[in-house]
Chain A
C-alpha cells in the first residue's frame, strides 16, 4: 500500500516538475524569438534589413526549435519555419512591404503557440 502511494506521488512529482520546467523553457524560448522577430520587423519597416539579418533570426530559430519539438507538435513549429523562409526571400528581393506581413505572422505564431499550450480552461476542454 505504501509502495503504491509512493509510486503515485513520485509520478505526480514528475508531472508537476516536468510541467514547470517545460513551461519555463517554452515560454522563455518563444519570448526570445519573439523579441528577435520584433527587432527584425522594425528593421524591415525602416527598410534597413538585409538578407543576413533575416538569416541570423532564422538561424536562432532553428537552434531554439530543436528542443521545442519535444514539447510542441511539429506542425505548429513548421509554420514558423515556412514564414521565416518566405521573409528571407522577400527581404533578399527588397520586397519590404510583403516581408512585413510575413514577419507579423511569425510574431503572431510565436504568441499563439505560447497561448495554445498554456494552462487555460479552453485548452483543457
Chain B
C-alpha cells in the first residue's frame, strides 16, 4: 500500500500548502496561481529525493507526483468552471488604489504594505502614487494599474517619508525641512500626528502625496527653492 500511502500523504501536503500559501497573501506568489505555485515547489523535491537516494524506491516519487498531478488537474477544472470556487482557490483581485488613494485595508488583507505597493508601482513605471487612477493586485500577485490621462505634475522620484505611521528618518533628513514644517503640514490637513498617516511621499520637486488612514489623499507642494534630487 506504499503507493496509496504516498498518494494520500502527498494530497494532504498539497492541500495544506495551498491553505498556507493562500494565508500568506499575494506577496509570495509571482505570476502564478497559488495551486500552480505549489506544484512548482513540490514536484522538484518529490522527484529529487527518490532520484538521488537509491535506498528509496522510485515508485515513491512516481506515486506522489501522480497525486500532485491528479489534484492539480481537478483544481484546474474547478478553477476553469468559474463560480465562487475560483475565488477560494486562487484568491480575488484587490483594488489597492482607488479614487481616494491607497486602500490600506486591502493592503493589510493581502499581507502587503505601502513599500510593496510603491515598489510594484515603480516596476510598472509609475513613480508617484497618484500617477494612477486605480491599481489592482491580481490573484497571482501582479499589480495592474489604470494610468491617469493627464497628470498635472513633472515626474520625479518620490521618497516615502512616512509609511504606516512611522517616520523614515533618513528620507526625512533628505527633505531638509525647517523645524515644525511637517507638523504644520499635517495639521493643515486635519491630521493630528505622524501615527495617523498611512503614507506620505515627497519627490525632488517638493510635490507631496499625503494620505491619512480612512481619508482621501491630498497632494501639494512643499515649496522647495530648487530641485532636491
Contacts and interface: CB of A to CB of B under 8 A. Distances in A.
Interface of A: 1, 4-5, 7-8, 11-12, 14-16, 18-19, 22-23, 26, 69-75, 117-119, 123-124
Interface string B75-119: 011001000000000000000000000000000000000000000
Given A5-B77, A15-B63, A70 B69 contact: no
A71 B2 contact: yes
Interface of B: 1-5, 7-9, 12, 54-59, 63, 66-67, 69-70, 73-74, 76-77, 80
Given A15-B66, A69-B57, A124-B9, A117 B80 contact: no
B57 A72 contact: yes
B7 A4 contact: no
A7 B77 CA distance: 12
B66 A11 contact: yes
A21 to B, nearest CB: 9
Contacts of A73: 55-57
B12 A124 contact: yes
A119 B7 CA distance: 11
B72 to A, nearest CB: 8
A23 B55 CA distance: 20
Contacts of A119: 1, 4-5, 8
B123 to A, nearest CB: 33
Q: Which of A1, A4, A8, A123 has the most CB of B within 10 A?
A: A8
Contacts of A12: 70
A74 B12 contact: no
A72 B63 CA distance: 13
A19 B1 contact: yes
B5 A124 contact: yes
Return the 10 tightest CB-CB contacts between A and B, nearest first: A8-B73, A19-B4, A74-B55, A119-B1, A19-B3, A23-B1, A18-B3, A11-B66, A8-B70, A11-B70
A13 B206 CA distance: 67
A4 B80 CA distance: 11
Contacts of A71: 2, 57, 59
Contacts of B67: 15
A58 to B, nearest CB: 21
A5 B12 CA distance: 21
Contact of B3 (A8, A15, A75): A15
A124 B8 contact: yes
